[in-house]
Structure 1
Amino acid sequence: MCIRDRPDPALDQGTFARVLEPRSANRLPLGDGTWHQLARAFVAVELISHGIVLAIVLAAALVLSLVLGQLWVWIPAGLVIVAEVWTMAILPRQARARGYQLRDDDLLYRSGILWQRMVAVPYGRMQLVDISHGPLDRGFGIAKLKLVTAAASTGVTINGLTQQAAEHLRDTLIEVAETRRTGL
């Protein structure tokens, strides 16, 4: 049985419903097959992380301007604040534009709205499958899966998988790589 035919309900629990595509006719097509999404909790973790950065920049700017009288600090702080607010506004859409597909010979990863990226990582070229998560990730039950290959440009990091999906995907990729007798 090929990897594409295996039912994987663990990969789709707590995720977005589908990969959103840009509306342009010149977009990278999704093709056929089952696309798996990121966990919905990924957006919450990213919003909290960016909110913390925003609060630190705002607090530092307030202290420097009110206590030390340094009004010039609002120029760089304002730029950072605008960038963080913009990032937080588009983050949910960006998360829904990411996904991965398990094909017969490779894992296909897609990301991006304006700058689209689609990477195919051949199973036989994988050297390492790494799962990592920080304290905030653990609190929300998500993880990051990193696929390392011999060529640095084809390595992929999939942020925002549920912990169960990351472990299941790691085990599946190791199993497939073992059957190919290359890679892992």
Structure 2
Amino acid sequence: MTTSPAGPPPESTTPSADDDAILDRATFERIREPRGAARLPLGDGTWHQLARAYVTVRLISTAALLAVVIAAGFAAQTWSGTPWPWIPAGVIAAGCVWTLAITPRQARSYGYQLRRDDLVFRRGILWQRMVAVPYGRMQLIDITHGPLDRGFGIAQVKLVTAAATTGVVIPGLTQEAAERLRDTLIDVAETRRTGL
């Protein structure tokens, strides 16, 4: 969680201290920000992070894919009797190794902020993206989690809007934080009588 200088006074649409405690439980301590002068600024307010377990889940799934690629490379070489299957297997394996190397740093660059009129989502160190989704434009809030996610107690929240380009997927929230975020966004939409 990163806090910036005090902004406007809390509104009924901003999360309470109890909400912040739930949204920030078992997460990274601060959002990782690129160092360059041309970076997208974080701005004021409180940024919430992904759960630490998200990194573990990504590492396990990428390592499993790497093992399958290596096994498939061996099987294809044995079956064909030539080393050519290692060309595509090597390219995919190199991509998996790169993903394993950058996942911990990449996960710390994700963050979201609940502001008065919108939810702001940011991600990326090299390729940065910052999206502001107005509460009134949200049409659907979807929580999903696979078997590995459930084992580590994390979920993914997808915010769907009328414009496909402004849809946001927040991966790796704790299950409790995902449900609290969903409930908060639904409450905001109901008070404004728009969206959802």
CA distance in 2 between counterparts of 1:50 and 1:5 reads 35
CA distance in 2 between counterparts of 1:6 and 1:24 reads 33
Render the CA deviation track for 1:22-69: whole Å, top value 9, x for unaligned: 110100000010000000000010111111110000001011223431
Q: How does 1:31-180 map to 2 (within 5 A)?
A: 31-180=43-192
Aligned to 1:23: 35
CA distance in 1 between counterparts of 2:94 and 2:138 reads 39
Aligned amino acid, residue 138 of structure 2: M
Which SS does the other structure have where 2:31 is aligned?
coil
- CA 1:85–1:64 in structure 2 vs 1: closer, same or farther (change >3 Å)? same
Aligned amino acid, residue 12 of structure 2: C
CA distance in 2 between counterparts of 1:172 and 1:4 reads 9
CA distance in 2 between counterparts of 1:107 and 1:174 reads 12
Question: Between the two proteins, what is the percent identity of the paired residues?
Answer: 67
Aligned to 1:6: 16
Render the CA deviation track for 1:105-152: whole Å, top value 9, x for unaligned: 000000011110000000011111110100000000000001011111
CA distance in 2 between counterparts of 1:110 and 1:87 reads 19
Question: Are 2:15 and 2:184, in contact at CA under 8 Å, matched by a contact in 1?
Answer: no
Instruction: Identify unmatched segments of 5+ residues in structure 2.
Output: 1-10
Aligned amino acid, residue 56 of structure 2: A
Instruction: Identify unmatched segments of 5+ residues in structure 1.
Output: none
Aligned amino acid, residue 16 of structure 2: R
CA distance in 1 between counterparts of 2:14 and 2:32 reads 21
Give the TM-score, by structure 2 length.
Answer: 0.91
CA distance in 1 between counterparts of 2:125 and 2:14 reads 26
May I ask how many residue pairs the two structures share in their alignment? Answer: 184
Aligned amino acid, residue 157 of structure 1: V
Which SS does the other structure have where 1:108 is aligned?
strand
Query: RMSD in angstroms over aligned alpha carbons?
Result: 1.0
CA distance in 2 between counterparts of 1:2 and 1:62 reads 60
Aligned amino acid, residue 3 of structure 1: T
